[in-house]
């Protein structure tokens, strides 16, 4: 991984969950890392200092709101990343006829439009340097659908399409653009869904987990954040220089069914 050292990676939505795992994986691989997301400032500062000390890299934080285009532009201009990981995302579950319009707009803004804005501001610097890596965190819901998740499914399908289009535009510039499509990962987003299902059905979390995973994951196991992190690190390495425009599922067999 020596060829990656001192390049800068910006990971959106990286103060918890999948984004935090990817950010730590990139720091361990020798990248300077810029975290992004909400959370307790003291906890974020402590985590940044811990990773900086452990991995010998620079770790900083930018609190840009990924629903605000001006803040995205400022953050990317300040960072000028060599590597961009678009991970920020939110979820809401509701039948389409009762789906709140304002919630639809916010999900599309954060899960899809934010990636468009980060890419359009980061790509010129990558092209100028003749090297760049863009990794978009899609979802299995970028490849297949589930009821009640119209906005999320639409946004994640959009991420897959955006990945292909930008990969073609940057194909001769030393910049690769790929997506990862995780299945269910035990993150705060999923924990909330599990708690809501348990409360709705009046059952324990373990019973909900078995039913939740059994419907989609043949293994009845969650995808692990560190595994996603290692895939992201690979996509950012020179070993993946010939891969662009690809969406790679890591879904415990979900889309094999």
* Residues marked as catalytic: 152
CA torsion sign, 33 to 34 to 38 to 44?
A: positive
Which of 156, 119, 155, 114 lies closest to 134 in space, CA to CA? 119
Facing residues of 32 across strands? 8
Conformational region of residue 200, where left means phi above 0, alpha means psi within -120 to 50, and beta covers everything else: alpha
Helix (H) or strand (E) holding 142: none
Using CA atoms, how far apart are residues 252 and 153, in angstroms rounded to an integer?
A: 19
Pair of tokens at residue 203: 């059952």
Tokens of 134: 């863009």
């Amino acid at each position: 991984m020596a060829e990656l050292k001192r390049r800068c990676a910006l990971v959106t939505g990286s103060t918890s969950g999948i984004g935090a795992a990817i950010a730590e994986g990139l720091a361990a691989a020798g990248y300077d890392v810029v975290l992004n997301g909400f959370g307790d400032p003291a906890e974020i500062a402590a985590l940044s200092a811990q990773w900086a000390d452990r991995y010998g890299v620079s770790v900083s934080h930018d609190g840009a709101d990924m629903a605000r285009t001006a803040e995205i532009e400022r953050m990317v201009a300040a960072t000028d990343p060599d590597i961009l990981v678009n991970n920020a995302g939110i979820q809401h579950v509701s039948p389409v006829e009762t789906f709140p319009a304002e919630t639809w707009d916010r999900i599309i803004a954060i899960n899809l439009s934010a990636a468009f804005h980060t890419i359009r501001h980061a790509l010129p610097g990558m092209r100028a340097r003749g090297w760049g890596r863009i990794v978009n965190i899609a979802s299995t819901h970028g490849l297949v659908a589930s009821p009640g998740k119209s906005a999320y499914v639409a946004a994640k399908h959009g991420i897959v399409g955006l990945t292909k289009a930008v990969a073609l535009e940057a194909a001769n510039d030393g910049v690769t653009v790929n997506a990862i499509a995780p299945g269910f990962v035990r993150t705060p987003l999923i924990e909330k869904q599990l708690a809501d299902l348990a409360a709705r059905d009046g059952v324990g979390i373990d019973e909900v987990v078995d039913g939740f995973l059994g419907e989609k994951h043949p293994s009845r196991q969650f995808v692990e954040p560190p595994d996603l992190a290692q895939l992201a690190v690979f996509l950012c390495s020179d070993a993946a220089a010939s891969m662009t425009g690809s969406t790679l599922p890591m879904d415990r067999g979900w889309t094999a069914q």
